[in-house]
Structure 1
Amino acid sequence: LYIWRLGFPIVRAIALLLCPMRVVGLEHVPERGPYIIVGNHISWLEPEWIAWAVKRPIRYMAKEELFEWLFVGGLLRVIACFPVKRGTSDRRAFVTALRVLQAKQVLGFFPEGHRSESGAMITAHPGIAAIALRSGAPLVPVATTGAKGAFGRFWRRDLTLTFGRPFYAKELGETEPQAVTDAIMRRVAALLPEDMRGVYA
């Protein structure tokens, strides 16, 4: 995380300059120990905003193709992301995610896989289920509102991050990966206004 410590303050300052934000429910976020941040996905700057709010490095998965772009790939490395092959069972990414949590770090997840064009939640991919169940780490839901349209509508003052209470995947009463994932995403949806809950309304 050496590169993160050097580069993240710069990325964070740019993100906050372009779009100030309000944070709700920060008292629910553990100050130490491993956990999984899971949220909706409407802006490419969400990783920086969330890391700023919790004041800890967060290791995110990002689709492998993004690392092929010079600027984007460099930015992802600065904020300590690691690649995942979408549409496959990527064991390397799975093992990396478990090691992040075993090292008592924070793992970040946007299970929808890509930004929602409408701002409403879309069906999430089931990859988070195995990691949450296998690791036993708590999940912390976070909902982003007011961020849709960056950079097109960037100078906004209604950006809000809302954190919910931590919970464990085993509490959800599901075992099938997609069912576990959907139950997790409903916890995120509960923090959003109704018109943004989409398939998890």
Structure 2
Amino acid sequence: MYKLISGLLKLIIVKLSNSLEVQGKENIPQLHRYVVTCTHESYNEVIMLGTAIYPNQIHYMAKKELFNNKWFGRFLTSLNAFPVDRDNPGPSTLKRPIKLLKENKTVGIFPTGQRKKYDEGAPLKRGAVTIAMMAQAPILPAAYVGPNEIKGLITGKAIIKFGEPIETKHLPKDMKRNEKLEYLTKELENRTKQLQQELDAYVNIK
């Protein structure tokens, strides 16, 4: 189902309506084993991020409430999404994405944990960094600028920009685990903020 819908969306969004511009494609790792993060204001980022990386498939972490409806839950599962309990995260929350990464698959996480403007000061949660570090996988930061309404996927113009991957394996051995988490979280926050600022400047110039 993911391949079918993603292929259709790419045809409509990229080839027919030309409503997506992707910057920093050279930063996308050739191996699929990485965590991709993105700023999050609406559901459009989910679609555009998947389209930008297609044909590689993203396995999205999604809040468990979206799976309460049996049929909608099955639909999300067919699109490679899997539920997580954001209010009470436990060890099981990490097992699924780490397993996917070790199977050389891509995991998509929106670090703010909610649809919220990045510049509103939403703190980056440690989940993405923790998962990437435990799986020894790089983090691919991305930022989004564009319409937030679904109709804007076709009628508007969106831009996804990827930054340089953040390696999680080559940190100093004398750093403690919490220090590594703090360092990587801050690095992800800084790179995401920079990407967002660069996109905002690019849009203003245009």
Given the two structures, how large is their TM-score scaled by the length of structure 1?
0.80
Residue 166 of structure 1 corresponds to which residue in structure 2? 165
The structure with more helix, counted as a fraction of residues? 2
Q: Which runs of 5+ in 1 are unaligned?
A: 197-201
Structure 2: distance between partners of 1:59 and 1:195: 25
- The 5 Å alignment of 1:1-201 reads 3-10=1-8, 12=10, 20-55=19-54, 56-69=56-69, 72-116=72-116, 120-147=120-147, 149-151=148-150, 157-169=156-168, 175-176=177-178, 177=181, 180-193=184-197
Number of residue pairs aligned between Structure 1 and Structure 2 = 193
The amino acid of 2:61's aligned partner reads: M
CA, structure 1 residues 40+121, in 2 after alignment: closer, same or farther (shift >3 Å)?
farther
Larger Rg: 2
Whether contact under 8 Å (1:101, 1:107) holds in the other structure is yes
Whether contact under 8 Å (1:146, 1:160) holds in the other structure is yes
The amino acid of 1:48's aligned partner reads: I
Structure 1: distance between partners of 2:166 and 2:154: 34
- Local SS of the residue matching 1:182: helix
Whether contact under 8 Å (1:7, 1:78) holds in the other structure is no
CA, structure 1 residues 151+143, in 2 after alignment: closer, same or farther (shift >3 Å)?
same
Given the two structures, how large is their TM-score scaled by the length of structure 2?
0.78
Q: Which runs of 5+ in 2 are unaligned?
A: 201-206
CA, structure 1 residues 192+71, in 2 after alignment: closer, same or farther (shift >3 Å)?
farther
CA, structure 1 residues 108+13, in 2 after alignment: closer, same or farther (shift >3 Å)?
same
The amino acid of 2:28's aligned partner reads: V
- Local SS of the residue matching 2:128: helix
- Local SS of the residue matching 2:195: coil
- Local SS of the residue matching 1:83: strand
Please tell me the root mean square deviation across aligned C-alpha atoms, in Å: 3.0
